[in-house]
């Protein structure tokens, strides 16, 4: 009989069970990682609470993985047992048109994390394809695995800030004060923005996110966010307005907040099939750039990892809760209510 391990298994929307499942076998030409830290992402919450897989359950999510190599298939010399690595969830082919153009986030042959069991488990297996493609990074001695796991959510924000070229003197409005909004604030500051405005419906979340390079916070449950952004920019609007939350209303709001000739960004994904209603005339008359952002290119993934493990990045302040995997449902609740800014789970730590 196969050895068992703990995992947080999704049986349906909102039905996440902490249970024992067979520990994955080491695939031929692949390797197995013992998960030390796995972040709970906004996209995980969306996936775990809605029917993103259209009934295809049970499934194990978890894509912000840092761990130690536990097993290596014969003939694989790229990894050694005991080595600590951060594994980016998507392995780009680096051969297709998009990869070669520096847009590997659109790779046509990506090995996506939604096709194989993820890291909300004690162990996760990777195939020979992953060995060949890499997108794994050695975590230097002395770097906390929890900190290293933040490289994944940082990568997409790093890529977004670079792609829309947030620059010296820019005014930036960010809708959504979760870890993504916090990262975008930090990156805006690092890139020289003159004013960062962070907006959220949840006052608790807003309060936790305010210390990260934010000049103004706007509680959109109590204030008209668009009017407030206009007031804060003397009626001009911001250079870059980013919707970093799962609502379509936010997508309309960034169009209203962006200055003429400015950039409106759809960063956060919305529930599958959900359509947005936007004022296209406003896009037209204001000559707006609308940019949809997803993921990061291969080199941006690497640069974001380097930033995440550097002292420039305030990882310890961002992680509000470190919990055992058995607390995953609590972690989802803490994140949803805004009580937690960022939860990182440790599947191999037992409850104290």
What minimum distance in Å lies between the beta carbon of 153 and Zn ion? Answer: 5
CA-nearest of 142, 144, 115, 141 to 127 is 115
Region 31-60 residues binding Zn ion, contact defined as CB under 5 A = 41
| Identity of the residue, 136 or 171, whose beta carbon is nearer to Zn ion in the bound complex | 136
Total residues contacting Zn ion by CB under 5 A comes to: 8
What minimum distance in Å lies between the beta carbon of 93 and Zn ion? Answer: 3
| Identity of the residue, 109 or 339, whose beta carbon is nearer to Zn ion in the bound complex | 109
What minimum distance in Å lies between the beta carbon of 3 and Zn ion? Answer: 28
Q: CB-hemisphere CA count at 13 Å for 69?
A: 22
Region 91-110 residues binding Zn ion, contact defined as CB under 5 A = 93, 96, 99, 107
With binding defined as CB under 5 A, does residue 319 bind Zn ion? no
Count of other CB atoms within 10 angstroms of residue 263: 22
What minimum distance in Å lies between the beta carbon of 39 and Zn ion? Answer: 6
With binding defined as CB under 5 A, does residue 135 bind Zn ion? no
What minimum distance in Å lies between the beta carbon of 271 and Zn ion? Answer: 17
With binding defined as CB under 5 A, does residue 153 bind Zn ion? yes
Q: Do the Cβ atoms of 183 and 155 come closer than 8 Å?
A: no
With binding defined as CB under 5 A, does residue 190 bind Zn ion? no
Q: And the tokens for 107? A: 């790779």
| Identity of the residue, 104 or 185, whose beta carbon is nearer to Zn ion in the bound complex | 104
| Identity of the residue, 96 or 190, whose beta carbon is nearer to Zn ion in the bound complex | 96
What minimum distance in Å lies between the beta carbon of 38 and Zn ion? Answer: 10
Query: CB within 8 A of 128, min separation 6: which ones?
Result: 27, 28, 29, 30, 73, 76
| Identity of the residue, 93 or 232, whose beta carbon is nearer to Zn ion in the bound complex | 93
* Burial class of residue 139, CB neighbours in 10 A (0-12, 13-18, 19+): buried
Maximum Cα interatomic distance, the chain, rounded to a whole number of Å = 69
CA-nearest of 175, 198, 190, 320 to 248 is 175
For 172, list phi and psi in degrees, rounded to 5.
Answer: -130, 130
Positions touching Zn ion (CB under 5 A) are 41, 64, 93, 96, 99, 107, 152-153
């Amino acid at each position: 009989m196969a050895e068992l391990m703990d995992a947080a298994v999704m049986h349906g929307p909102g039905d996440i069970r902490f249970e024992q499942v067979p520990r994955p076998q080491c695939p031929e030409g692949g390797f197995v990682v013992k998960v030390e830290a796995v972040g709970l992402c906004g996209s995980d919450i969306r996936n775990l609470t809605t029917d993103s897989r259209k009934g295809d359950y049970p499934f194990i999510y978890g894509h912000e993985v840092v761990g130690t190599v536990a097993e290596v298939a014969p003939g694989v010399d790229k990894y050694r047992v005991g080595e600590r690595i951060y594994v980016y969830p998507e392995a780009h082919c680096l051969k297709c048109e998009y990869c070669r153009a520096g847009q590997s986030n659109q790779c046509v042959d990506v090995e996506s994390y939604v096709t194989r069991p993820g890291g909300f488990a004690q162990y996760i297996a990777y195939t020979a394809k992953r060995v060949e493609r890499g997108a794994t990074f050695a975590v230097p001695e002395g770097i906390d695995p929890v900190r290293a796991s933040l490289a994944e959510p940082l990568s997409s924000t790093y890529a977004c800030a670079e792609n829309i070229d947030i620059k010296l003197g820019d005014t930036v409005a960010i809708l959504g004060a979760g870890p993504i909004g916090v990262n975008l604030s930090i990156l805006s500051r690092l890139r020289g923005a003159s004013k960062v405005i962070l907006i959220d419906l949840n006052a608790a979340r807003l309060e936790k996110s305010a210390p990260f390079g934010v000049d103004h916070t706007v509680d959109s449950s109590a204030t008209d966010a668009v009017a407030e952004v206009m007031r804060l920019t003397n009626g001009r609007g911001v250079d870059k307005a980013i919707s970093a939350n799962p609502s379509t209303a936010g997508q309309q709001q960034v169009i209203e907040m962006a200055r003429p000739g400015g950039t409106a960004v759809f960063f956060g994904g919305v529930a599958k099939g959900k359509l947005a209603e936007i004022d296209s005339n406003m896009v037209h008359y204001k000559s707006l750039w609308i940019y949809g952002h997803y993921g990061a290119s291969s080199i941006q993934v690497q640069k974001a990892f380097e930033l995440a493990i550097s002292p420039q990045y305030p990882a310890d302040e961002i992680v509000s809760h470190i919990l055992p995997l058995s607390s995953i449902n609590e972690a989802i609740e803490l994140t949803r209510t805004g009580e937690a800014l960022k939860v990182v789970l440790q599947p191999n730590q037992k409850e104290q």
